[in-house]
């Protein structure tokens, strides 16, 4: 029986017998130039032109392919340096202790671009999430080991290198540098995944993607409720506010409005041609956890449809953000600045704790 061909993406890391304790100790500091260059170069990507070329011609031009591989090669070298696999700075070209190569594909399937590959790679993403967390823990352990012994334990080194290899294969597959499905394997000698593994992963990917989409839609429909309350603005100014509205386990009431707000009642001063308006709320937290009240929870629209953000939000005499403890209540004052001649039309309380539930007061 013929031996399976190796996967077209290769990642190798040469095991270092000794590592610098000093370089390891200051690795985060020494990595700052690497991270800066990563942030700058990370915005340069040949993915979209490569995908367009595949759609039109069924292949990537060799120069564009080589450019993308060169970028990925440097990112993998930088990752290896950050993960302590070497204490040598990652070079931009030439041979190095961490190598990354991709065999050039003569033809690529147009129909597999983007969505198909992302969906079929979902099982890989999930596994890599846990493997990556393990690699971070291993790196912390290795950091201490290198400081004391001057070397990276061989088994831990091979594990981190294997996780990087697995990730590099999946990345190349999703970016369409290859159509071969990545193996579920840390080994350097593994070939493309077999047909059974590909079929199972594809089914799982579509089920998980479909479940995620359905769950997101259901969550949006269930969590996007908005309670509308009709409120006489004149009654509100007279201190005759609305009844209680419920947002989850929290009860909210709009108590009164001061329009215009006298300067003696606040340290704020309105700009020329504008006035200050203050609304007072009563909030009762009946949930089993603390809730936070922030400025971004409140929005006001005037009769011309212009939206206004709060100038100040005060919770029991203290500027927001503030927590309201479980089974406790709070008085909330919200100050807006509006044009002198504009009348408030709608006031929305859209709290972060409400999970997209909100109450909107429509003034008449």
Biggest distance spanned by C-alpha atoms of the chain: 91
pLDDT score at 286: 85
Which domains are delineated in the chain? 9-216 (no CATH), 226-363 (2.60.40.1240)
Q: What is the pLDDT of residue 346?
A: 93
Tally the C-alpha atoms within 13 A of residue 124's C-alpha that lie toward its C-beta: 27
First to last CA, the chain: 83
Using a pLDDT cut of 90, give the percent of the chain over it: 57
The pLDDT value recorded for residue 1 is 40
- The yes-or-no verdict on residue 289 having pLDDT over 90 is no
Cα 169 versus chain centre, distance? 23
Cis omega (within 30 of 0) for bond into 260? yes
H-helix or E-strand spanning residue 280: strand 274-285
Is a pLDDT exceeding 80 seen at residue 156? yes
pLDDT at 9: 96
What pTM value is reported for the model?
0.65
254-282 pLDDT, tens digit each? 999 999 887 666 678 888 889 999 999 99
Least confidently predicted of 121-125, 157-161, 324-328: 324-328
Q: Is the pLDDT of residue 112 over 70?
A: yes
């Amino acid at each position: 029986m013929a031996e399976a061909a190796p996967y077209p993406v290769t990642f190798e890391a040469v095991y270092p017998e000794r590592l610098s304790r000093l370089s390891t100790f200051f690795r985060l500091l020494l990595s700052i130039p690497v991270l800066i260059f990563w942030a700058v170069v990370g915005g340069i990507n040949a993915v979209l032109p490569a995908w367009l070329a595949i759609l039109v011609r069924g292949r990537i031009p060799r120069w564009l392919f080589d450019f993308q591989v060169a970028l990925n090669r440097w990112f993998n070298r930088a990752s290896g340096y950050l993960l302590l696999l070497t204490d040598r700075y990652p070079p931009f070209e030439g041979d190095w202790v961490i190598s990354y190569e991709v065999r050039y594909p003569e033809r690529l399937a147009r129909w597999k671009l983007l969505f198909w590959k992302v969906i079929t790679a979902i099982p890989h993403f999930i596994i890599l999430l846990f493997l990556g967390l393990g690699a971070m823990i291993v790196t912390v352990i290795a950091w201490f080991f290198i400081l004391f012994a001057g070397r990276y334990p061989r088994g831990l080194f091979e594990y981190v290198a294997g996780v990087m290899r697995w990730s590099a294969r999946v990345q190349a597959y999703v970016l369409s540098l290859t159509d071969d499905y990545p193996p579920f394997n840390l080994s350097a000698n593994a070939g493309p995944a077999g047909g059974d593994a590909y079929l199972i992963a594809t089914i799982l990917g579509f089920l998980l993607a479909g479940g995620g989409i359905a769950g997101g839609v259901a969550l949006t429909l269930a969590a996007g409720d908005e309670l509308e309350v009709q409120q006489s603005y004149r009654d509100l100014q007279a201190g005759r506010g609305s009844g209680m509205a419920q947002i989850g386990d929290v009860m909210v009431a709009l108590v009164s409005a001061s329009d215009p707000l006298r300067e003696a009642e606040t340290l704020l001063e309105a700009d020329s041609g504008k006035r200050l308006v203050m609304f007072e709320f009563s909030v009762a937290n009946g949930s089993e956890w603390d809730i936070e009240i922030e400025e971004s929870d409140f929005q006001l629209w005037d009769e011309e449809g212009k939206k206004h953000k709060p100038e100040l939000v005060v919770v029991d005499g203290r500027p927001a953000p503030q927590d309201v403890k479980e089974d406790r209540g709070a008085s909330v004052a919200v100050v807006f600045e509006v044009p002198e001649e504009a009348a408030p039309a709608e006031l929305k309380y859209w709290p972060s704790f409400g999970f997209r539930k909100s109450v909107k007061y429509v003034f008449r």
